[in-house]
Amino acid sequence: GENVEQHPSTLSVQEGDSAVIKCTYSDSASNYFPWYKQELGKRPQLIIDIRSNVGEKKDQRIAVTLNKTAKHFSLHITETQPEDSAVYFCAATIQGTYKYIFGTGTRLKVLA
């Protein structure tokens, strides 16, 4: 069945450094790839997304890249700040199935 793998499970970076989280998906029909941030005790919220007809998208310090051939996509956070500390989830949707499948999450710690 459909599967989304996410790595690493935990990531610690120094403030100001960059962080990269990677996800791979199994179904080549996947066509939408969002990233969510979940702060402690709160609900997940979208931070950026990309559709299958686009290779890269940026929003200030956050960017997402998509490699359809390799079936993987990545989240890049530059100039990390303490408030970036959270759990990040990638997800994928499969065209025509309505499913919305998440990765297992990455706990990012930004060290001051």
- Applying CB under 8 A, which residues contact another protein? 1, 6, 9, 31-32, 34, 43-46, 49, 51, 89, 91, 93, 95-96, 98-105
Write out the two tokens for 42. 């709160």
Closest CB 98 distance from another protein, rounded Å: 5
Amino acid at 89: F
Q: CB neighbours (10 Å) of residue 92?
A: 26
Closest CB 111 distance from another protein, rounded Å: 22
Complex with another protein: residue 20 or 32, whichever CB lies closer = 32
Reduce the secondary structure of 33-72 to three states and give it as a string: EEEEEECCCCCCEEEEEEECCCCEEEECCEEEEEECCCCE
Closest CB 59 distance from another protein, rounded Å: 13
Complex with another protein: residue 60 or 98, whichever CB lies closer = 98
Closest CB 15 distance from another protein, rounded Å: 26
Complex with another protein: residue 46 or 111, whichever CB lies closer = 46
Q: Are 103 and 87 in contact (CB under 8 A)?
A: no
Q: How far is CA 96 from the centre of its chain?
A: 22
